Amino acid sequence: MKKVLLIFGTRPEAVKMCPLVRELKGRADMKTVVCVTGQHRQMLDGVLRTFAVTPDHDLDVMRPDQSLEDVTAAVLLGLGPVLEAEAPDAALVYGDTTTAFAGALACFYRHIPVGHVEAGLRTYDVDRPWPEEFNRRAVSLLSRYHFAPTQEAGDNLLREGVPAERVFVTGNTAIDALRTTVRDDYVNKELDWAADSRLILLTAHRRENLGVPMEGMFRAVRRAVEERPDVKVLFPVHLNPAVGRAAEEQLSGCGRIRLLAPMDVADFHNFMARSYLIVTDSGGIQEEAPSLGKPVLVMRDATERPEGVNAGTLLVTGTGEEAVYEALCCLLDDQAAYRAMARASNPYGDGHASERIADALSRLLREE
């Protein structure tokens, strides 16, 4: 029997890896071992609880205010003994976080084949998003198997010279997760509070937006909301203290804006499904919202997820206060513009990505 080690550590990786963990654990030909780095702590643990995934190893690397060097070094050093003890036939990492980069590097150093899930996303601007664009390109270099969520992402890898027999277009496991969480009978008191209004669901956390851009983004939202009495905002605030400070400074004291703790993923998915529109700089939310038919204003200068833009659901606003404000006002005031974006589409898959990844991996490990 072949042994597969899954390595992840932040909230979005957990949301998208847990469906794969569950799929792989159901396969008789593979033993599945989970190592979390704990790059996130509370936000990771919540997702693990929701999907009932219990890690076999936990590096517990999160410390307050640590630098990217600290996280990278802690993951790299922490993984050594785990790789030594488990000696897996292959390891899987996800996406573009420091956990993914350091995890792939640790495996590479020990000649353990790496499979990259959510491979091939690119902005081709190494500063946007930062440091994620570097991380995912580096993980591509370090990986043997590349599970691309879309044909576009697969094509990026082929153009970069990755052999076609190592690229698998599978869909995104984010959609697998979404299939299990959204319910018609979902109720929540925060949604009751917003029931008489158009609900904007807001999130923000990108490192390159911290500071002046993020403060401007929040002011833009506040201005648009204060001018429109029928609009309310719910903002589950990321636990990065810099985000919390900016949110408090710019958004507190407005009766129609509520700052909340990070939400359980099942709650968050149901909030998305009930919202009027979503304003975010998140990556994962750009994948989930199109299949729910929710317009998303993406507060970034570039996105690695052009499929949602092409499908008409995502609009990249830039990060300047006026640009965000104008895009938001347009969507709130122009019904035709809103309707044009509020269309369900499935550019990120059909909810069966985990099965495809497990099938491909099973075959590859048998053959190699």
Q: Which of 25, 27, 207, 219 binds ligand UD1 (CB under 6 A)?
A: 207
Q: Any idea which residue has 């319910």 for tokens?
A: 183
Structure tokens at 203: 């999130």
Structure tokens at 192: 């009751």
Judged by beta carbon distances under 5 to 8 A according to partner kind, the member of ligand UD1, ligand UDP, none in contact with residue 252 is: none
Q: Any idea which residue has 């590097």 for tokens?
A: 105
Judged by beta carbon distances under 5 to 8 A according to partner kind, the member of ligand UDP, ligand UD1, none in contact with residue 239 is: ligand UD1
E-strand ranges in 167-255 read 167-169, 198-203, 231-236
Question: Per CB under 6 A, does 24 bind ligand UD1?
Answer: no
Nearer to ligand UDP by Cβ, of 12 and 115: the residue is 12
Question: Per CB under 6 A, does 40 bind ligand UD1?
Answer: yes
Distance of closest approach, residue 163 Cβ to ligand UDP, in angstroms? 28
Contact 298, 331 (CB under 8 A): no
Judged by beta carbon distances under 5 to 8 A according to partner kind, the member of ligand UD1, ligand UDP, none in contact with residue 40 is: ligand UD1
User: Smallest Cα–Cα separation from 200: which of 167, 234, 224, 170?
Assistant: 234
Contact 22, 354 (CB under 8 A): yes
Q: Tell me the window of 96-104, 139-147, 175-183, 290-298 that interacts with ligand UD1 (CB under 6 A).
A: 96-104
Q: Which of 4, 12, 47, 88 binds ligand UD1 (CB under 6 A)?
A: 12
Question: What would the DSSP string read from start to end of 271-313?
Answer: HHHH-SEEEE--SHHHHHHHHHT--EEE-SS--S-HHHHHTTS
CB atoms within 10 A of CB 197: 16
Q: Any idea which residue has 């929710």 for tokens?
A: 294
Structure tokens at 1: 């029997």
Nearer to ligand UD1 by Cβ, of 117 and 231: the residue is 117
Q: Which of 180, 240, 345, 362 binds ligand UD1 (CB under 6 A)?
A: 240
Active site residue 264: no
Q: Which of 136, 205, 222, 300 binds ligand UDP (CB under 6 A)?
A: 205
Question: Per CB under 6 A, does 282 bind ligand UDP?
Answer: yes
Beta bridge partners, 4, equal: 32, 90
Judged by beta carbon distances under 5 to 8 A according to partner kind, the member of ligand UDP, ligand UD1, none in contact with residue 66 is: ligand UD1
Judged by beta carbon distances under 5 to 8 A according to partner kind, the member of ligand UDP, ligand UD1, none in contact with residue 54 is: none
Rounded Cα gap, residues 187 and 246, in angstroms: 30
Q: Which of 43, 112, 202, 272 binds ligand UD1 (CB under 6 A)?
A: 43
Question: Per CB under 6 A, does 127 bind ligand UD1?
Answer: no
Q: What H or E segment, with its residue span, contains residue 151?
A: helix 151-159
Active site residue 238: yes
Rounded Cα gap, residues 293 and 191, in angstroms: 18
Contact 222, 216 (CB under 8 A): no
Number of residues located near ligand UD1, criterion CB under 6 A: 25
Q: Tell me the window of 60-68, 136-144, 215-223, 302-310 that interacts with ligand UD1 (CB under 6 A).
A: 60-68
Q: Which of 5, 7, 9, 11 binds ligand UDP (CB under 6 A)?
A: 11
Q: Which of residues 249-308 bind ligand UD1 (CB under 6 A)?
A: 283
User: Smallest Cα–Cα separation from 263: which of 14, 16, 36, 42?
Assistant: 42
Task: Give the 3-state secondary structure of 155-198.
Answer: HHHHHCCCCHHHEEECCCHHHHHHHHHCCCCCCCHHHHHHCCCE
Which residues contact ligand UD1 (rule: CB under 6 A)?
A: 10-12, 39-44, 64, 66, 68, 71, 96-98, 131-132, 205, 207, 238-241, 283
- Annotated catalytic residues are 96, 118, 132, 205, 207, 238
